[in-house]
Amino acid sequence: MDKTQIAKLKASWRELIDNKRVPGGLEKLSVLIGKSPSYLRNHLNNSSVPGVDVIMGLSEHLKIPPNELLNYHPSKLHHESNLDAMQIADSIAQEVWGIVVNKLTQGTDRPTGRDLMLWWKSNNGRLEASDAFAECFDLYYEPKGETREIRALSLGQRSLAAVSLGVHSPEVLRNTLAPLGTEFAHRILLSHSQSIQEGPISTLETLDVAHPNGLNRITIEYIRTLLPVTAPDGTSCVLNYSELLGKPGIMSGHIR
């Protein structure tokens, strides 16, 4: 991205912030996104490429999805065609997305919940460009009608269910959760529906289940993050990303 493109994008942001009439102006907004009071005023007047933290901060506090923020470019102000504005937005979007993907794929460890949230917001809830970390989360179908069954679409091979419970397929997961009863299933389905309707949900959970080996019970405590996502074919799903707290507690003995 050249200096002219950056200048045009930042000019559109200045107009957007003015139109939003943010209380306290640029100084207050700078503080809200975790910067010094003079940061945005200086940043919007220089030629540096906007960082992902700036874009995500503006998105959050201006209540505008990142994609819309990147595509906001009033042609009437700059006398540009829509095509030119789209090219500028696409150029910035590619740079931002590169930062997000690099962060998600750094090292060999699992991404954090914050990393995943950054990906979700940057991709506007679409289940795309997730191959690099798809093995770390599970996908569930959106609950429909009076369904009382937790239906998994896919399980990641490094997800919490796979690593801690030894569950590697939707069928095995169904058999593992079935003994927990209808009340448990209702609670899970309710949380999935809530995520579809309201957005991301993060909760502290405890689960005590029979291990698929049939010999042990296992208790795990974990942070569960649910994200509503749309698959490439238009299917509405719930992404479950869970991070283990401590080590699983295993109690030996035959399951009755």
pLDDT of residue 254: 31
Region 3-103: CATH code: 1.10.260
Tens of each residue's pLDDT in the chain, 256 residues = 567 777 877 888 888 888 888 788 889 888 988 888 888 888 888 877 777 678 778 877 887 766 566 654 343 334 444 455 455 555 555 555 555 555 545 544 667 777 787 788 877 888 887 777 788 899 999 998 777 788 999 999 888 888 777 788 888 888 888 888 888 889 999 999 999 999 999 899 888 776 555 556 777 788 899 999 999 899 999 999 988 876 545 433 333 2
- Which architecture characterizes domain 127-252 according to CATH? 2-Layer Sandwich (3.30)
Q: Among 121, 115, 107, which residue's Cα sits nearest to residue 69?
A: 121
pLDDT of residue 73: 38
Query: Residue ranges of the alpha helices (H) in the chain?
Result: 3-20, 25-32, 39-43, 52-62, 66-71, 75-78, 82-105, 113-122, 160-165, 170-177, 181-198
104-110 long-range Cβ contacts below 8 angstroms, 24+ apart: 104/132, 104/133, 105/132, 105/133, 110/136, 110/158, 110/243
Domains of the chain by residue range: 3-103, 127-252
pTM as predicted: 0.58
DSSP state of 133: T
49 φ, ψ (degrees, to nearest 5): -70, 130
Please state, in angstroms and as integers, the Cα–Cα distance from residue 4 to each residue in 47, 78, 136, 151, 166, following that order.
8, 12, 40, 50, 54
Tell me the C-alpha distance between 227 and 244, whole Å: 18
